[in-house]
Structure 1
Amino acid sequence: MIRRLAVILPLAAFLLFVVIAIRGLDSDPSRPIESGMVGQPVPDFELEGLNDANPGLAASDLRQGTVTLVNLFGSWCLPCRVEAPQLERLAASGAVVHAVAIRDETQDVEEFLAEYGDPFSRIGMDPRGRMQIEFGATGVPETYLIDGDGVIRAQWIGEIRPENVEEILARMEALQ
């Protein structure tokens, strides 16, 4: 009996692992992932601006009646470079896009924006990365859809892809 269990239990554990792995691979990676923050008001915060020409970002800026996107990024982040053209497209389509520069230096962010474009209305500097914790982010980039009352309505983990742009614009329009 014990020998049988010694064979069956590892086999059952392996099969369970395979089933879980297959289900994970079958999920749609482009859909927004709704964290516990979705449906919650943005946390209170106030971040300094990038420089004198670029205003900072505060929670009160997200409660002004305008639907916005908040993008957490870093100049050091390769996927952030990949998503830059999509953020430019969103801004060119009329979307208000704000940013939080996570664990970054002013000069590095300025160089990033000069090379990859600056679609951001406001950029808050977060040298310690506390906004990742406040927003429940797992890394960068992450983008949040915020309604005009400052409530988080959707979250995208990872870079915004070209196929996400129309969906994001439609979701923003639906919240107007």
Structure 2
Amino acid sequence: MKKTLSALLLACLLGVLAPAAAATPGEVAVGQTLRDARLQGLTGPDRKLSDFRGRPLLINVWASWCGPCRAEMGSLDRLARRYGSQFAVIGISTDDYTARATAFLKTANTAFPHFIDNRLELENMLGADRIPLTLLVDAQGRVLAKFYGAKEWDSREAIEVIGKAFGLRP
């Protein structure tokens, strides 16, 4: 009983049990596989979403004007630097202006690749009707979980949730 209560509390804290919101147009729900999409590079070359298949993927959707997005970026960077060999981490900006996203990334100095979605294609597919949004995606491209709101992604609790979702050894 105590273990179940602890798991439920952890899920609530991490936002797993957040109230359901109306889906964005074309949103891929938890349990479904992401469609392929072109990713316009901010910190490197353009890629396709399918380029990341074959290993687990953490996708963070953010914007330069979003305070909570900016606040969690450091913990995402520490997570990527520590666990980047076990799973990929990418960021997707929803900024309308590439220059603003790029300016923020210069100050954030993150080690993981970032892309921009100023056509709303990824924003809608991922369900980013509010940000920050972080998705855990398995090696086959299936969405395992969606987390809305800022988190400390390198905290013990978050790493435990990510490890369980991706089936990683501690």
TM-score band w.r.t. shorter chain: 0.7 to 0.9
The match for 1:89 among 78, 84, 90 is 78
| Normalised TM-score (structure 2) | 0.73
Is this contact kept in 1: 2:95–2:101, CA < 8 A?
A: no
Q: Give secondary structure in 2 for the equivalent of 1:84.
A: helix
The match for 2:117 among 98, 111, 126 is 126
Report the CA distance between 1:115 and its aligned residue: 1.5
CA distance in 1 between counterparts of 2:47 and 2:135 reads 14
Counterpart for residue 98 of structure 2: 106
Moved more, 139-148 or 160-169: 160-169
CA distance in 2 between counterparts of 1:33 and 1:128 reads 29
Q: Give secondary structure in 2 for the equivalent of 1:115.
A: helix
Counterpart for residue 135 of structure 1: 126
Relative to its length, the structure with more helix (as a share) is 1
Report the CA distance between 1:166 and its aligned residue: 1.9
Report the CA distance between 1:125 and its aligned residue: 1.4
Identity %: 30
Is this contact kept in 2: 1:42–1:151, CA < 8 A?
A: yes
Q: Give secondary structure in 1 for the equivalent of 2:12.
A: coil
Is this contact kept in 1: 2:61–2:94, CA < 8 A?
A: yes
The match for 2:14 among 8, 30, 48 is 30
CA distance in 2 between counterparts of 1:38 and 1:46 reads 21
Is this contact kept in 2: 1:75–1:109, CA < 8 A?
A: yes
Distance change >3 Å, CA 142–CA 76, structure 1 → 2:
same
Q: How many residues align?
A: 146
Deviation string 1:31-73 (CA, Å, 9 cap, x unpaired) is 42487711110123112212xx60234221232x111101111
Is structure 2 residue 56 aligned with structure 1 residue 67? yes
Is this contact kept in 2: 1:70–1:145, CA < 8 A?
A: yes
CA distance in 1 between counterparts of 2:127 and 2:149 reads 14
Q: Greater CA radius of gyration, 1 or 2? A: 1
| Normalised TM-score (structure 1) | 0.71
Q: Tell me the amino acid that sits aligned with residue 146 of structure 2.
A: Q
Counterpart for residue 48 of structure 1: 40
Q: Tell me the amino acid that sits aligned with residue 36 of structure 2.
A: D
Runs (5+) with no aligned partner, structure 1 = 1-26
